[in-house]
């Protein structure tokens, strides 16, 4: 993992045609919970981006010409390296992103799965024979886009980068990855180190840490035909606006305000367990976090009491000590979370438990009496907060769910799974999980949202990745030139 006993490869470096200094200076990465220094990285500028795009454009042509088996071998080797030594990623995810050790291990496993699926994707059929009115061969085939720009967030930094990077590379593209600067190690530079060790040719992948100015330059770069972005809906709207005049392909996986519907036949204790996991995992800093708990009036008091009891029992503190809930990523985000809670109370809600913090450690919070127009109900909080609202009949509950601008993930808890499956036809959401949490993802599924939760291609599964990271080219071939009247 390190080039010497003293410094890792990424120390004061970025990854672009090997490890080198950036022209934007050096930044220190610190653990949000303890403030401990984790290392220093180089920051990229638009000038570094221009050089990286030129290099990637040239390298991509050779990479795409290589046999698919060579691309698959690189993916499999990277998966093997990480699978044998998961600590090379988990040991950074815990302090850098504030991940609990369980979450870090789960995320690392997802990265391994993503690499394995990408290896299989490289050999997947990539075209189809078409019928033609002429006596000729007619086919549609998938061809690489060229250079794919990936902008990834801080919360699940490794998997939310790799789910774009791995399939894009496997299909013959080059990639420019701009990780969130707060998690540039686990979300970028360690992944570059992994691919380099796995044999990825120089120039095919570039990892450029930087801020919003670098992200904007990547979106607007004329030689980057595709942007894959995961982040907030507000940022996604800006990216869409900037890319539209360029007629650039944009894939946006955005925020969510995900509902968990507890039907009156549900087991309350089981529902509270699912609800606590959905709202409090990784401090609620997940696009799929359960941000709305819809509970039938007949069981509301029992459910709220059970959920609050689970919230009170979750230890919060430094994840390096094995505690399951770590810090909010920074003070700005913590203050935003607390402002939502304070605003909820001002609008008539009550804090059943939580609503307090120590430094960046925010207690799991349960809010009761949350009205439909309460900002804590209508907006994405992105923190460990569980707002609860009571409903009287299922039709009302479905209307409440669908009233949201978001449409990423919905959970239904019930003893009648098939009835919930039929109910899912009426729910506007990219995913519906029956008797499971809103937080769920696998490398093999086409993941994505609708409405304000996303637009463009989906992530995961062979067909979705082909749609997202390739173009369709129509090719015809006949034995002799066609004879025309002029």
Catalytic site positions: 253, 287
Backbone φ and ψ of 184, nearest 5°: -70, -20
DSSP 163-194: HHHHHHHHTT-EEEEE--GGGTIIIIIHHHHH
Backbone φ and ψ of 351, nearest 5°: -90, 110
* Residue 385 DSSP label: E
**Cβ–Cβ < 8 Å for 438, 278:** yes
Q: Where are the beta strands (DSSP E) in 409-466?
A: 409-413, 431-434, 450-451, 454-455
**Cβ–Cβ < 8 Å for 453, 430:** yes
* Residue 158 DSSP label: H
CA distance 316 to 312: 10
CA dihedral 440→187→211→30, nearest 10 degrees, is 110
CA distance 421 to 414: 10
* Residue 212 DSSP label: H
**Region of residue 43 (left: phi > 0; alpha: psi -120 to 50; beta: else):** beta
User: Cβ–Cβ contacts within 10 Å for residue 317, how many?
Assistant: 16
Q: Which two tokens stand for residue 472?
A: 């369709």
Range 77-82 contact pairs with CB under 8 angstroms and sequence separation of 24 or more: 77/197, 77/198, 77/199, 78/115, 78/194, 78/195, 78/197, 78/198, 78/200, 79/112, 79/115, 79/116, 79/119, 81/194, 81/197, 81/198, 82/108, 82/111, 82/112, 82/115, 82/194
Quote the distance between the C-alpha of residue 30 and its chain's center.
22
Q: Which residue, 389, 407, 420, is CA-closest to 263?
A: 420
CA distance 22 to 9: 14
Q: Are strands 290-296 and 258-262 parallel, antiparallel or unpaired?
A: parallel
Q: Which two tokens stand for residue 436?
A: 């499971």
Q: Which two tokens stand for residue 56?
A: 């990637």
CA distance 71 to 171: 8
């Amino acid at each position: 993992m390190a080039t010497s006993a003293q410094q890792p490869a990424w120390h004061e470096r970025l990854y672009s045609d090997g490890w080198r200094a950036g022209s934007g200076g050096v930044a220190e990465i610190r653990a949000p919970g303890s403030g401990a220094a984790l290392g220093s990285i180089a920051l990229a500028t638009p000038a570094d981006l221009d050089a990286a795009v030129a290099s990637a454009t040239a390298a991509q042509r050779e990479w795409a010409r290589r046999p698919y088996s060579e691309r698959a071998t690189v993916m499999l080797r990277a998966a093997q390296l990480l699978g044998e030594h998961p600590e090379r990623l988990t040991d950074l995810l815990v302090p850098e992103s504030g991940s609990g050790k369980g979450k870090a291990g789960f995320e690392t496993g997802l990265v391994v799965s993503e690499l394995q699926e990408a290896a299989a994707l490289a050999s997947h059929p990539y075209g189809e024979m078409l019928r033609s009115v002429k006596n000729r061969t007619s086919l549609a085939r998938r061809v690489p886009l060229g250079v794919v720009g990936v902008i990834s967030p801080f919360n699940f930094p490794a998997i939310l980068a790799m789910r774009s990077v791995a399939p894009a590379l496997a299909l013959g593209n080059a990639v420019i990855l701009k990780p969130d600067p707060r998690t540039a190690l686990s979300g970028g530079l360690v992944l570059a180190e992994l691919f380099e060790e796995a044999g990825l040719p120089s120039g095919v992948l570039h990892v450029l840490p930087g801020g919003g100015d670098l992200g904007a330059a990547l979106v607007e770069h004329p030689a980057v035909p595709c942007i894959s972005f995961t982040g907030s809906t507000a940022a996604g709207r800006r990216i869409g606006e900037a890319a539209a005049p360029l007629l650039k392909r944009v894939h946006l996986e955005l925020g969510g305000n995900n509902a968990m519907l507890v039907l009156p036949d549900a087991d309350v204790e089981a529902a509270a367990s699912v609800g606590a996991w959905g709202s409090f995992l990784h401090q609620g800093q997940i696009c799929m976090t359960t941000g709305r708990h819809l509970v039938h009036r007949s069981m509301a008091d029992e459910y709220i009491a059970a959920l609050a009891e689970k919230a009170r029992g979750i230890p919060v503190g430094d994840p390096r000590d094995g505690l399951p809930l770590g810090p909010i990523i920074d003070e700005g985000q913590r203050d935003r979370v607390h402002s939502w809670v304070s605003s909820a109370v001002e609008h008539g809600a009550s804090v059943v438990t939580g609503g307090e913090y120590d430094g960046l450690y925010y207690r799991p919070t349960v809010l009761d009496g949350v009205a439909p127009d309460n900002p804590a109900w209508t907006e994405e909080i992105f923190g460990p907060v569980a707002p609860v609202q009571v409903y009287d009949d299922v039709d009302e509950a479905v209307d409440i769910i669908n009233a949201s601008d978001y449409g990423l993930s919905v959970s239904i808890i019930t003893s009648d799974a098939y009835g919930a499956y039929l109910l899912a036809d009426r729910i506007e959401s990219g995913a519906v999980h029956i008797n499971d949490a809103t937080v769920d993802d696998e490398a093999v599924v086409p993941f994505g949202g609708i409405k304000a939760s996303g637009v463009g291609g989906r992530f995961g599964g062979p067909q979705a990745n082909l749609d997202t990271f390739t173009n369709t080219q129509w090719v015809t071939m006949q034995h002799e030139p066609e004879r025309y009247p002029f």
